Amino acid sequence: MSSSKTQHLVADQTGISQAASLLRGGALVAFATETVYGLGADARNGAAVAQVYAAKGRPSFNPLIVHVPDTDSAQKYVEWSDQAQMIADAFWPGALTLVLPLRQGHGLASLVTAGLPTLAIRVPNHPTATALLRAAEAPVAAPSANPSGQISPTTARHVLAGLDGKIGAVLDDGPCTVGLESTIVTLAPVPTLLRAGGVPAEDIEAVLGCPLAVPTSDTITAPGQLASHYAPNAKVRLNAKFADFGEVFLGFGPMKSDLNLSEAGDLTEAAANLFDYLHRLDESGKPIAVAPIPMTGLGAAINDRLSRAAAPR
């Protein structure tokens, strides 16, 4: 449900109630989570889910993540296992998405899974998101609230810059704290990392007691796997020691730069700043050079987003 003007709601009890009512009525509502702002639709409503794809310009073969308020709710839609319980106990609520087989009679729109027999599902760790999910009394399909392939939004301003007039409302609860999308893991046939994200792979491996495999094909089985994704309009050059003439420079660690993800070299701070700083530098209209980022911990997810932002398109 698009409107000529998107409502800008404050994340108080009134705003949450209004947002929940819009979701129940089939409208699209962008809302804050700890990772990025999601573009929510009732996952049982095929027409509403179709509008998510239309508003974003998202390919219909790219599945969506469903957000629920707690683990018990998740088990209504997917087949559960001991490994799933281990991961949920350790990381939910939080920045981790599980891809699990759909439960028979799940009642979700087929567009949510892009026709796959599995569902990507998450319990967000954000009080406003949790309150909205409980008030809506619905599983909410919510990819990032931005035009498909562009930089993910970590503020309501980012959402409105890309989707104003195309969605019902944005529920504004300030900047996101993690700033990177969720890590995505599937458990069958073996635990496999489908997308690096807000929970480092090493932490998941420690809980499972085994290494995470990597996908062996290019088949899309979860969100965030497109080669070109999270991209600014400007060209992006990675692992740069300095900016060439005409470029703006995104630094990391103690160095001279136009914007610095973390002068202290803190990867958590860098993750939280990544998309906001890419938005800001993209507004300059100049190519963006990016300093090297370590591949440890959250650095793996940051480098994943940067490599997709820099991919040919």
pTM of the model: 0.83
Q: What is the pLDDT of residue 2?
A: 44
Q: Do residues 157 and 278 share a domain?
A: no
Per-residue pLDDT tens over the stretch 190-234: 999 999 999 999 999 999 999 999 887 776 667 666 666 667 889
In a shared domain, residues 35 and 136 = yes
- Within-domain flag for 213: no
CATH of the domain at 90: 3.90.870.10
Same domain, 29 and 130: yes
Alpha-carbon separation of residue 48 from 22, 24, 27, 45, 60 (angstroms): 11, 10, 6, 5, 14
What's the domain range around 279?
236-309
Whether 264 is covered by a domain: the verdict is yes
- Per-residue confidence (pLDDT) for residue 3, from 0 to 100: 44
**257's tokens:** 């730069």
Residue 38 shares a structural domain with residue 146? yes
Question: Closest by alpha carbon to 172, among 18, 27, 24?
Answer: 18
Look at residue 91 and tell me if it is in a domain. yes
Same domain, 99 and 244: no
Residues 145 and 17 in one domain: yes
Flag whether 163 is in a domain: yes
- What pLDDT is recorded for position 304? 85
Taking the C-alpha atoms of residue 229 and residue 226, their distance in angstroms, rounded to an integer, is: 6
| Residue 259's CATH number | 3.40.50.11030
Q: Name the domain count of the chain.
A: 2
Among the three residues 190, 208, 226, which one is the final residue of a domain in this structure?
A: 208
Model confidence over 297-309: pLDDT tens digits?
889 889 988 998 8
What residue type is assigned to position 281 of the chain? L
Which residues, listed in sequence order, are joined to residue 121 by a DSSP beta bridge?
A: 66, 98
